[in-house]
Amino acid sequence: MSSYTGVSGFGWRIHQVLLIRLLGIMILFSICRVLFYLFNQSFFPEVGLALAPRLFLGGIRFDLVAVLYTNILYVFLTLIPFTFKYRPLFQRFLDYLFIITNSIALLANCADFIYYRFTIKRSTWSVLQEFSHENNMHKLFGGFLVHYWYVALIWVWLVVLVVYLTRRWQVGPKPLRPAWQVFLIHSVVMTVAVFLFIGGVKGGFRHSTRPITLSNAGEYVNKPKEMFIVLNTPFCIFKTLKRSDYQRADYFRSEAEMNAIYSPIHVPGPDLPAFRPKNVVILIWESFGKEMVGTYNRELENGTYKGYTPFVDSLMRHSKVYWHSFANGAKSIEAIPSVLTGIPGIMEPFVLTRYTDNKLPSLPGMLQSKGYHTSFFHGAPNGSMGFKAFTNLIGIRDYFGKNEYNNDADYDGIWGIWDEEFMQFWSKKLDTFQQPFMSTLFTVSSHDPFQIPERYKGRFPKGPLPIYETMGYTDNALRRFFDSVKNKPWFNNTLFVITADHAATFAHYPQYQTSVGNFSIPILFYAPGDASMTGTDSTKLVQQIDIMPSVLGYLHYDKPYFGFGKNVFGNPPINFAVNYDGVYQWFNGPYVLQFDGRKTVGLYKYQEDKLLKNNLAGRIPEVQGPMELQVKAFIQQYSNRMLDDRLTVTP
């Protein structure tokens, strides 16, 4: 009897090979988790020897689900109770299937060694949708391989181990038993295996066990962001693959009860002054975190820190600045809906959900009804990140991208036209628009791999991270833009808003590596013709979704409208900000509440406790109770209005 046929010639070795190969992939997933942590250790400063075993052991549960999903076809074809599965050609096909599918899964894990720094969460299905808009993917991917060659080598090494595992453990010849006996026994084995498989991907065998999902990682962590150590990227992709609907929330029995706590409907007061048709110019700066700005960080480096944006520092002295200011998302594609429609991305970027076909609020649309010309500028190849499609969807009249610039001599070779040249192009175009106008520009240069034009090499401080030099470059480009427009006849009749798409989450200083610091961005309101629009407010919070209602409030817009944010120039009923970092983060004044949809998992006095060391959850009910009601009201308003297509005000 051949040693490959197993006991009684029933061909048990095929099941041994299956189990050993899957176990080998589980080990490789665990190696990826260790590497993910080592590459991103600065994001998890409180993960020490006491907590690490719990996180890594908890991760095995999620690895099992991901490995089973990844290998579902391989497992099925291995278990079918027919003897043709022993044929050499069929086994060769299974070998290639095993190698290819697991190599792709390991590639997803490896990509997040680096990509996590840009999104501060594991990649989901939406990432693939996001990059589907790019028509220069070969350059982006090639640039990634060159810049992060060591990650590519790690992936190649992991693939070599998969190939070795496949060649080391082979099935062998067909069993000696009659085919009907093999069919009968293997049918029983397959039935048992299917039962175990279902329990494995579900996360348990009890009838009451709900399928394991991303939030289950919260069982193993002290802080929500540590969930991303427990999770793995293929699991996150599989679990968001078919997610198209928000779950209807029912925290409140009536809409009136909910609206009394939080409502996204804005109604102008009866004594509102006449509408003033000022121009509105918005700059959304790629990866522009507060860490780069010296004015926000006077205490750093024993008071000697100057930052990397001297022009912004000078502009802040003539602007209305709210000291505590936040992004509502961590991706570029989340910024435009937040800024221009007042809709934040919750759990997934709004533009990648099916709810973009809802009737949407729109700052450009509302201003167009007042006779404004509207435009959007983005120096990337047209169609990049789906910006052109979305700006068209919300009614922006003219889009200007790399095509309209029409001079590849100023192309950086990867992302788009250099910021300085494109801002000068913007300046000239603004002169051609009839007033009043609203125009938005999204910068591109402060993006990985963080290059600047050759003529500026050595001019700007480099700092400890490569992004800092590009921030100095774009700051200088902004200075040149203002130099070119400050004497224009429309300049003093304009409200400028300067903000970021998201913070540069790969921060250097510890206070910017927390779940609060990861979302801290500048938001400046600069109105050169209005002396009242100056000063710093350290009490009110401002966020990206506040820009639309604040601009409308400043212009004295006189119609009811919908927006999840608040008018910071008025007297908002709740001094709040919100974002999603694996859990809901609800800011109210000096506190931030972290809420997982069912319970509070964290409460911090973040303005004093900048490293979020002191969790106050359960200790100050007079603060926690009202904040829980507020975040529940927000969740219910957000989810149910998305589902019911109620994102506008019905006349």
Tens of pLDDT along 464-479? 988 999 999 999 999 9
Tens of pLDDT along 288-314? 999 999 999 999 999 999 999 999 999
pLDDT band at 1 (very low <50, low <70, confident <90, very high): very low
Tens of pLDDT along 245-285? 678 899 999 999 999 999 999 999 888 999 999 999 999 99
Lowest mean pLDDT among 5-14, 282-291, 618-627: 5-14
| Residue 502 is assigned to a ligand binding site | yes
Is 332 a known active-site residue?
yes
Q: What's the whole-number average pLDDT of the chain?
A: 87
Position with higher pLDDT, 100 vs 146 = 100
pLDDT of 7 reads 39
Summarize the confidence of residues 562-587 as an average pLDDT. 94
Position with higher pLDDT, 29 vs 50 = 29
pLDDT of 171 reads 78
Whole-number Å distance between alpha carbons of 622 and 56: 36
Q: What percentage of the chain has pLDDT greater than the value 70?
A: 86
Tens of pLDDT along 349-408? 887 776 777 888 999 999 999 999 999 999 998 877 778 878 888 889 999 999 999 999
Assess whether pLDDT exceeds 70 at residue 176.
no
Summarize the confidence of residues 413-417 as an average pLDDT. 90
| Residue 501 is assigned to a ligand binding site | yes
pLDDT of 406 reads 94
Lowest mean pLDDT among 150-164, 178-192, 559-573: 178-192
Domain boundaries, the chain: 7-240, 275-571
Tens of pLDDT along 421-441? 999 999 999 999 999 999 999
Whether the predicted model's global pTM rises above the 0.85 cut: no
- Asked if the peptide bond before residue 436 counts as cis, ω within 30 degrees of 0, the response is yes
pLDDT band at 448 (very low <50, low <70, confident <90, very high): confident
pLDDT of 170 reads 80
pLDDT of 588 reads 97
Whole-number Å distance between alpha carbons of 647 and 651: 13
Query: What is the gyration radius of the CA atoms in the chain, in angstroms?
Result: 27
Name the residue among 92, 526, 479, 172 with its Cα closest to residue 309: 479
Across 64-94, b (16+ Cβ under 10 Å) vs e yields bbbbbbbbeebbeebbebebebbeeeebeeb
CA–CA–CA angle 212, 213, 216 (5° rounding): 80
pLDDT of 188 reads 65
pLDDT band at 11 (very low <50, low <70, confident <90, very high): very low
pLDDT of 6 reads 41
pLDDT band at 2 (very low <50, low <70, confident <90, very high): very low
| Residue 266 is assigned to a ligand binding site | no
pLDDT of 442 reads 97
Please identify which of the residues 287, 332, 375, 639 carries the catalytic annotation: 332
| Residue 286 is assigned to a ligand binding site | yes
Q: What CATH class is the domain 275-571?
A: alpha beta
CB 33 within 8 A of CB 113: no
pLDDT of 181 reads 57
Q: What percentage of the chain has pLDDT greater than the value 90?
A: 62
Indicate the burial class of 55 (C-beta count within 10 angstroms; 0-12, 13-18, 19 or more): buried
Assess whether pLDDT exceeds 80 at residue 208.
no
pLDDT of 202 reads 57
